[in-house]
Amino acid sequence: MTTVLVTGASGQLGQCIKDIAHQFPALNLLFVDKNTLDITNTNDVLEFFETHTIDWCINCAAYTAVDNAENDHENAYKVNVFGVKNIAQACQKYDVKMIHVSTDFVFDGLKTAPYTELDIPNPINIYGETKLKGENEIQQILEKHFIIRTSWLYSEHGSNFMKTMLRLAEDRDELSVIDDQFGTPTYAGDLAQIIFQIIQTNSKNYGTFHYSNDGAISWFDFSKAIFELSDVEIKLNAIPTTSYPTPAKRPIYSIMDKSKIIVTMGIEIPFWEKSLNRALIKLNK
C-alpha cells in the first residue's frame, strides 16, 4: 500500500485533501498538523520519517499570513524556508517523493502575459520571498519533488476571500473591492484532486508546475460572482489598490500559464466560476 504523509493537515488545503481521501482507498493517508508534527522541529521531522514507512509527503504546512509576514519575517522564514528544508531533507534521506505547494506571489506582477515556469521569480513581499526560498531549498536537496504554484486559494474550509466576502455581507450593505489586481482563483478541492492524480499515476515528471483554475479576473469580479451565485444583494464599489493600502505589496498581475501541467499530467482545468459554484454548494451544505 502506498503511504502518503500530509503535513499542515488542519489548514485549508489539508482539509480539502481529507475530504476526498476516501476516493483513494488504495492510499494510506497519515494526517499531521502543527500539534502532531511541527515541521520546524528538525528532530521531530526526522524521527517521524524514521518511524513510519512513507512513500509520498504532501506539504500543506505554511506560514500564510501575507500581511503579518512583513513584520514577522523570522516566523515566516522559519516555517516557509527552514521547515520546508526539514521536510525535503527527510524526504531525501528516506526516499520519499515530495509534493509542495507554493504561490503566484513569487512573481512581481510586472508581466502582462501569463507567467510560465520559466519566468524568473522576483517576489515583492516577505511571504513571497520566503516561499521562493522554500522552493529553492527543495530544488537543491531533493530530486523527486513536485512544486505546485497556485493562486488565490479558497474553499469551504479555513479563512479565505470567498468566506470573508460572505461574512462581511452579513452586516453591511455596501462593500469596496479592488479592481486593478488580476489573477485566477483556485478552488482548493480542485488542487487536492490534482495532487492525488500525481500520486495515483506515480508520476516521475518531477519539477515546478503552475496550477490555478482557468480564466482571469480581478478581486472585484470575484466578489461580484460570489454574491451573484449566492443570491446576496449588496452594493459593490470597484476601487484601485491605492485606496486599500496593506502592509504587504501584492502583484497587480499574477495570472499563471498552466500549459505545462495540462500537457504533462494530462489534466483538464475547471473554469473558475464553475469551481466557485461547487465550493459555494459545499459551504452551504
Ligand X SMILES: NC(=O)c1ccc[n+]([C@@H]2O[C@H](COP(=O)([O-])OP(=O)(O)OC[C@H]3O[C@@H](n4cnc5c(N)ncnc54)[C@H](OP(=O)(O)O)[C@@H]3O)[C@@H](O)[C@H]2O)c1
Q: Which residues are catalytic?
A: 127
- Provide, rounded to whole angstroms, the least separation between the CB of residue 162 and ligand X: 10
Number of residues that bind ligand X (CB under 6 A): 26
> CB under 6 A: which stretch of 30-38, 91-99, 167-175, 261-269 binds ligand X?
30-38
Q: Which of 54, 62, 96, 226 binds ligand X (CB under 6 A)?
A: 62
Pick between residue 104 and residue 179 the one whose CB is nearest to ligand X: 104
Contact criterion met (CB below 8 Å) for 219 and 149: no
Strand pairing category for 182-183 and 217-218: antiparallel
Answer yes or no whether residue 13 interacts with ligand X by CB under 6 A: yes
Task: Confirm or reject binding of residue 61 to ligand X (CB under 6 A).
Answer: yes
Q: Cβ–Cβ contacts within 10 Å for residue 36, how many? A: 13
- Is residue 179 a contact residue for ligand X (CB under 6 A)? no
Is the distance from CB of 4 to CB of 56 less than 8 angstroms?
A: yes
Interface residue with ligand X among 86, 89, 103, 184 (CB under 6 A) is: 103
8 is a site residue for ligand X (CB under 6 A): yes
What b-and-e string marks burial along 147-185, b requiring 16 or more CB atoms within 10 Å of the CB?
A: bbbbbbbbbbbbebbbbebbeebeeeeebebbbebbbbb
Among 86, 89, 125, 150, binds ligand X (CB under 6 A): 150
| Interface with ligand X, residue 261, by CB under 6 A | no
92: helix, strand or coil: helix
- Determine the straight-line distance between the first and last CA of the chain, rounded to whole angstroms: 33
Neighbours of 33 (CB within 10 A): 16
DSSP string, 224-244: HHHHHHTT---EEEEE-GGGS
For 64, list phi and psi in degrees, rounded to 5: -115, 5
Is there binding between residue 156 and ligand X (CB under 6 A)?
A: no
Residue 109 beta carbon to ligand X: minimum distance, rounded to whole angstroms: 14
* Collapsed DSSP state (helix, strand, coil) of residue 165: helix
Minimum distance from residue 173 beta carbon to ligand X (Å): 27
Least distance from ligand X to the Cβ atom of residue 60, Å: 5
Report, in Å, the least distance between residue 223 CB and ligand X: 15
Interacting residues toward ligand X by CB under 6 A: 7-8, 10-13, 33-34, 38-40, 60-64, 79, 83, 101, 103, 131, 150-153, 158
